[in-house]
Amino acid sequence: MKKIIFLSVLALLMLTACTSQPSNQTTKVSDSKTSQTSTQTSSTSSKSEVTMTEKINPQALAKQDYSSVIGTWKNSEGHTLSFTEKGLVTERFNFSGASMTDYGTASSTVSINESPGGFLLEFIPAGVALPDFTDSESGQVYKDLSEHSKNRLWLGQSLISRASKGNFYYKVNE
């Protein structure tokens, strides 16, 4: 159990360190926290507008087509990632593109420029749950605690961190 706690703390420290950056860089990856406010208005109109969100397309991502993930993604701690049609917007990280997994997602490794560190990045379409992971040493089962009804990204250094809601990013304004 101490090993699991140590690995989880280490992963969080690495993610925090990975998102820190000098103020003169133009990368969209940040660890600033933001707050959102929303207002609700009522209308007497009989028409209603429904916004359909495109699902993440793992097959397209594997072909370097990032159109299904363009925009800003944010986790519960306020850290953000941004994607354009060219991929992850960053000067600090080396994004290697994505490949298909056998459970309906696309996965990528992201390395830190001029550093030995890095992390995994997984693109998870709405409706897909990540498979459970069982720690071979402790027998502990780690479940996907993310919101399965939404498109999401997962960042981490071990499969154990899939059980942490803070490692999942959701698209802003989705």
Condensed to tens digits (0 to 9), the pLDDT of residues 122-174 reads: 999 999 998 888 888 989 888 888 899 999 999 887 665 565 666 899 999 86
The residue-averaged pLDDT of 15-41 equals 37
The residue-averaged pLDDT of 92-119 equals 86
In this model, does residue 36 exceed pLDDT 70? no
**Sign of the CA dihedral with 16 first, then 19, 25, and 28 last:** negative
Q: With cut-offs at 50, 70 and 90, classify the pLDDT of residue 30.
A: very low
In this model, does residue 95 exceed pLDDT 90? no
Dig out the tokens for 90 from the structure.
């960053």
Tell me the longest C-alpha to C-alpha distance in the chain.
60
Condensed to tens digits (0 to 9), the pLDDT of residues 46-76 reads: 333 334 568 999 999 999 999 999 999 999 9
In this model, does residue 4 exceed pLDDT 70? no
In sequence order, what are the residues at sequence separation of 6 or more whose Cβ sits closer than 8 angstroms to the Cβ of residue 33?
77, 78
Model pLDDT, residue 165: 60
In this model, does residue 11 exceed pLDDT 50? no
User: In degrees to the nearest 10, what's the CA dihedral of 124, 108, 32, 68?
Assistant: -50
Q: With cut-offs at 50, 70 and 90, classify the pLDDT of residue 42.
A: very low
Q: What percent of the chain has pLDDT over 90?
A: 34
CA distances in angstroms from 78 to 33, 68, 166, 169, 174, listed in the order given: 4, 22, 9, 9, 16
Distance, CA of 172 to CA of 5 (rounded, Å): 30
Model pLDDT, residue 167: 84
